[in-house]
Amino acid sequence: MHELGIAESALQIALDRAKTEGASRVLRMVIRVGALSGVDPEALRFAFTVILPGTAADGADLQIDPVVALAHCPDCRKDFVPDTNHFFECPVCGRLCATVKQGRELDLVHLELI
């Protein structure tokens, strides 16, 4: 489960930032997870429940914001959401497209510290 490693990295970033800012606690963490990132948001949430106890982030609110996949058709110049199998066929002209505009995100975007 690579989500554990991702959670550990995010926690370390949060704890390092808290130390740099002179904060004693991490109150809240917001993570954006793209549909194409390969990360299961629920597995990531579970990983945090395992690693937060006993740290300065124990009890922190964890918000995971999903980011839908968005592709772009160079012919139609239209953005579209790929189907549930992540098949990137333009719904307007039928062209297969490889340009992904969003959906690969995996970012720690916000921390609240005290």
pLDDT in tens, 55-92: 999 999 999 999 999 999 999 999 999 987 778 999 99
Q: CA-CA distance, 89 to 37, in Å (whole number)?
A: 19
* Burial class, 22, CB count within 10 angstroms (exposed 0-12 / middle 13-18 / buried 19+): exposed
Question: What is the separation of C-alpha 65 from the centre of its chain, rounded to a whole number of angstroms?
Answer: 7
Look at the chain and report how many structural domains it folds into: 1
State the pTM of this model: 0.89
* Lowest mean per-residue pLDDT among 38-42, 96-100, 108-112: 96-100
Average pLDDT of the chain to the nearest whole number: 95
- The confidence score (pLDDT) of residue 85 equals 77
Confidence at residue 84, expressed as pLDDT on a 0 to 100 scale: 76
Domain of 54? Answer: 2-113
If you search the block for the tokens 């926690």, which residue do you land on? Answer: 11
